Structure 1
């Protein structure tokens, strides 16, 4: 994060190191600050799992966490998710090809302002999505491997962003995952997803996961397929 970015830049551009290639559907006026704080908390979570310390330090961490949580809880009312999240798929332009795509800065699993997320760089790639993901120690299951449930969660999130890049509103109806190899922790892996075919309101999708340094035709660690059911603009309008 570039804390020295010019004051005239948007929070999104400042966070992206001066680049304006971030497509953030719901702007966050504290994007950079919240992302930096969440990143520090993610580092703390991974360090807490990976390392051991004395009882006094553990007590200090617990006291600080409870005090800080209480300050946050008393500082404002809870912030609800916007009700027009799906409707905007049919009114907003699609993300530009190559742009980093975010719905909410604190989106589950992938939002940089969410301290429980993974480290994710999600981008539109043509008519598909490409995400570079690093799972930290907080998501380790078998030695050196990310928990399959965490991998599944990111898979669903990447496919959700595929819907954003396609410009459609859709719910996950079915998701099938073949775990062909272990997904490593502390090393970037690449999720790539695309639409396989469409039948009316049924959007069939496919996804693969490979190490970031693997060849494009290397055997994938993960293969997934899924079915998303499209909610049309007319249906959304009739429900409002």
Structure 2
């Protein structure tokens, strides 16, 4: 097994990793969305295994020392795009399984805009429901940035109103509805980007607030 790295990610490495993540996401849609002969698929699989072997030979990253969890800096102003760590599984620009979602603060709401693709498909032409749940969980997390509050997901509920289409611009709009002690109660909807009255799913979530120092200890 490769040794553990203590290096800090430099801007050029971060940009290169983001490009690699984007290429992997594109590959996922290509695998799910295109026909090819068995020999071609085998050849591509062999080349991907070689690429994975090459990466596995490098030192293992120590993510806990690369970034400080629970520390986001000042909250963004309304209209500003929001960012988290690059490997954030759904919205991170380097996330291999990400959704290529753009996150923006709009007033007291967080809006994630995206178009789901072939790799997200469940029923024909429709997103798998688990993708929708993961999207809500990720976008809800950005409310914590606005509130300047570290926390974890305590409960997530999704009501599917209609099949979520593939290949159509969508908007996941969420906000803080109330606060009860350590509980942050949130609500949200997944709609057409250009028609918020067309709702595909609704969600409620309870996030549990935690002291930032304790949060860092738990995630180190």
TM-score normalised by length of structure 1:
0.80
Pairwise CA distance, 1:238: 9.0
Pairwise CA distance, 1:78: 2.5
Residue correspondences, number: 210
Where does structure 1 lack aligned partners over 5 or more consecutive residues? Answer: 1-25
Pairwise CA distance, 1:107: 1.2
Pairwise CA distance, 1:102: 2.1
CA RMSD of aligned residues (A): 2.3
The 5 A counterparts of 1:23-38 are 28-38=11-21
Determine if the alignment matches structure 1 residue 85 to structure 2 residue 69: yes
User: Of 35, 45, 48, which residue of structure 1 is paired with 2:31?
Assistant: 48
User: Of 36, 43, 64, which residue of structure 1 is paired with 2:47?
Assistant: 64
User: Of 88, 93, 102, which residue of structure 2 is paired with 1:121?
Assistant: 102
Pairwise CA distance, 1:81: 3.7
User: Of 160, 164, 174, which residue of structure 2 is paired with 1:179?
Assistant: 160
Determine if the alignment matches structure 1 residue 152 to structure 2 residue 153: no
Q: Which residue of 2 aligns with 1:15?
A: none
User: How far apart are the structure 1 equivalents of 2:217 and 2:48?
Assistant: 45
User: How far apart are the structure 1 equivalents of 2:121 and 2:171?
Assistant: 18
User: How far apart are the structure 1 equivalents of 2:153 and 2:96?
Assistant: 24
Give the 3 Å change call, closer, same or farther, for CA 35–175 of structure 1 in structure 2: same
TM-score normalised by length of structure 2:
0.86
Higher relative contact order (CA 8 A, sep 6+): 2
User: How far apart are the structure 2 equivalents of 1:97 and 1:72?
Assistant: 39
User: How far apart are the structure 2 equivalents of 1:55 and 1:170?
Assistant: 47
State whether residues 68 and 216 of structure 2, in contact with CA within 8 Å, keep that contact through their aligned partners in structure 1.
no
Where does structure 2 lack aligned partners over 5 or more consecutive residues? Answer: 1-8
Deviates more, 1:190-199 or 1:95-104: 95-104
State whether residues 139 and 150 of structure 1, in contact with CA within 8 Å, keep that contact through their aligned partners in structure 2.
yes
Give the 3 Å change call, closer, same or farther, for CA 44–234 of structure 1 in structure 2: closer
State whether residues 19 and 94 of structure 2, in contact with CA within 8 Å, keep that contact through their aligned partners in structure 1.
yes
